[in-house]
Structure formats: structure tokens, C-alpha cells
Amino acid sequence: MLSGLVTGLIYMLIALGVTLLFGIMRVVNFIHGELVMLSAFTIWYVGVNEGFSMWLAIPVAVVVAGGLSVLCQKFLFKPLQYDILNCFIVGIGASFAIRSASWAIFGPEPQAIPAMLPGVVKLGGVFMAKQRLLAAGVCIVLAIALYLFLHFTKPGKAMRAVEQDREAALLMGINPESVYVTAFIISAALAAVGGAMLGSVFGVDPEMGSEPLLKSFIIVQIGGMGSIAGTVLAGLFIGVADSVTGTLLGGELAFIIDFAILMLILIVRPRGLFGYDV
């Protein structure tokens, strides 16, 4: 139950990056999962293989993911004028290419990232790895930070302005293109931290990005695309639902249950809990 909540929080963090890009420019970023995977590998490479400190490895991963994300924006999404369908398809292509390239480079062996906070604590009779608590804390802090950024800082307000009306924002002197770049960097940074947390809890391998991506698609759709609050709620909900079905019926059925929940939401409320129509 508690560890399901932690997994749900990590998925929520990854889903926040997806929903941010969707809200602002209507791009469903299929590369997001590969950003998660690549930053986990970067952390493994810098922190384990080269033996540097973890606190150095994570910023390096953020830079790598951010750089790749901006490259994709400049050379893939911008030439397609952020068209929703074309960007989706091109994202799948790029994601496949990146994933199989990392199969070739890193090999199928799963790698481990050591815990930044080793040891366990006892929480009301349940033993809990400190690393998982750290992951949960980081996710919560970042979600709150994202909310504060979007509502109380100038670049954040510019982002929401572009989200509401691109032309009107342009008239107010906001450059949408630079807002897009910022959004891609923030989204990639969230993916990188998500990758760090996921990698330190579950291990690192070239396929590790695909399940969080699928989960975050489901989370984002249940919560409503583009809605931060919806993503947070749906992420927690899916995390708990997964761990309950995992305990009762076995982990493989969890995904099917998620899908059933998604279908149910679509029947009752096609745009998700807090979303708006495309």
C-alpha cells in the first residue's frame, strides 16, 4: 500500500512532464519515456561506473535529458508545427530509435543505482526503505514547486498565458517559441528526476521507460490532459490501485485494472477528471 503510493508518486512525476507539454502546445511527447531511461543510465554511468557522487550525477542527467529534449523540439516537433498527430507519430519513431540504440550501447543487463539514503525506517509497524521515502518526498516537493512556478513566477505565468491563448500571449509580448523551449526543458528535468527515483528503486535497463510512459498516458488521461491537479490525483489513485490489485491478484493484472478504470472514466467523462476538450 505504502510502496504502491511511492511508485504512484514517481509515475505522477513522470506524468507531470507529459501533461505540461500537452497543456501548453498540444504535443504528446512519446520520447518522454526514453528521457526517463536515458537519464537513469546517465546517473548509473556517472555515479556508478565513473564513481562520482550521486549529487553530481543527477544534475548531469538533468542537463543530458534537457539537451536531448530541446534537440527533439528544434528538429522534430518544430518542423511539424506542433501538429498533434504528426508529432505523436514522429515521437514514436524517435523513441524506437533511441530505445534500440540504447539496447545496442548498454546491453540487456539490468544495472542498479545505489540508494542515496541507505537503510530502512519503521513507520507504524511497516519497514520502509529510506530511499523510497526520499523518492516520495522529492516527487511531492517537485509537484508543489511546479505548481508554484506556474502560478507565481513570470515565466510560469507566460506559460499559462500561451496555454490559454497563443495569439493573445503573442500580443502581450510573450515569445511562444521561448516558452516552448522552457517547457521542454522543465518536462525533461522532471523526467530525469523521475528516472533517478525509478532507477534507484527498480533498477536500470533499456526498457524501463516504456511502462512509466504507458502508465503516465493512462494517468494523464484519467486526470485530464494538461491539468496538474488531475495528474497528481490520478497518479496517486493509480499507484494505490496498482498496489492493491498487485497484492490481491498479482502484479500482471494491475495494468488491465488500470485500463478498466480508464474505460470507466471515458464512459462517464471522456475528457478526464479535470481536462478540457481538444
Partner 1 sequence: MKLALPVMIALLLALPLVMHNQYFLHVGIVIAINVIMAVSMWLLGITGLISFGQAGFMFIGAMTTALLTKDLGWSFWVALPLSAIMAGLVSAPVGRLSLRVKGVYFFLVTLAFGQVVAGVFAYFEKPFGGWYGIRDIPPPQPAAFFGVLDKAAFYYLALGLVLVTCWIIHRISRSWFGMVLWSIREGDLLASSIGIDVPGTKLIAFIVSAFFAGAAGSLYASYFGYISPLVFTFEYSVNVLVYIVVGGFASMAGPIVGAVALTLVPELFRVTGKYQMMAFGLILVGSMLLMPQGIIGAWQKLVTPRGRA
Cell numbers that stand for 133 in this block = 521515502
- With respect to partner 1, which residue has the nearer C-beta, 129 or 241? 241
Minimum distance between the CB of residue 125 and partner 1, rounded to whole angstroms? 32
- With respect to partner 1, which residue has the nearer C-beta, 94 or 138? 94
Element (H, E) at 129: strand 126-129
Minimum distance between the CB of residue 82 and partner 1, rounded to whole angstroms? 12
CA 208 to chain centre: 12
Whole-angstrom distance, CA of residue 271 vs CA of residue 265 = 8
- With respect to partner 1, which residue has the nearer C-beta, 151 or 269? 269
| Cα dihedral 192/212/46/58 (nearest 10) | 30
Minimum distance between the CB of residue 44 and partner 1, rounded to whole angstroms? 20
One-letter amino acid for residue 136 of the chain: A
- With respect to partner 1, which residue has the nearer C-beta, 115 or 244? 244
Minimum distance between the CB of residue 97 and partner 1, rounded to whole angstroms? 3
Q: Interface with partner 1 by CB under 8 A: which residues?
A: 28, 76, 79-80, 84-86, 88-90, 92-101, 103-104, 214, 217-218, 221, 225, 252-253, 255-256, 258-259, 262-263, 266-267, 270-271, 278
| Cα dihedral 209/219/57/180 (nearest 10) | 100
- With respect to partner 1, which residue has the nearer C-beta, 186 or 213? 213
Output DSSP code: residue 113: P
- With respect to partner 1, which residue has the nearer C-beta, 148 or 256? 256
Output DSSP code: residue 124: T
Minimum distance between the CB of residue 175 and partner 1, rounded to whole angstroms? 24
Minimum distance between the CB of residue 52 and partner 1, rounded to whole angstroms? 29
Whole-angstrom distance, CA of residue 83 vs CA of residue 165 = 16
Whole-angstrom distance, CA of residue 180 vs CA of residue 43 = 26
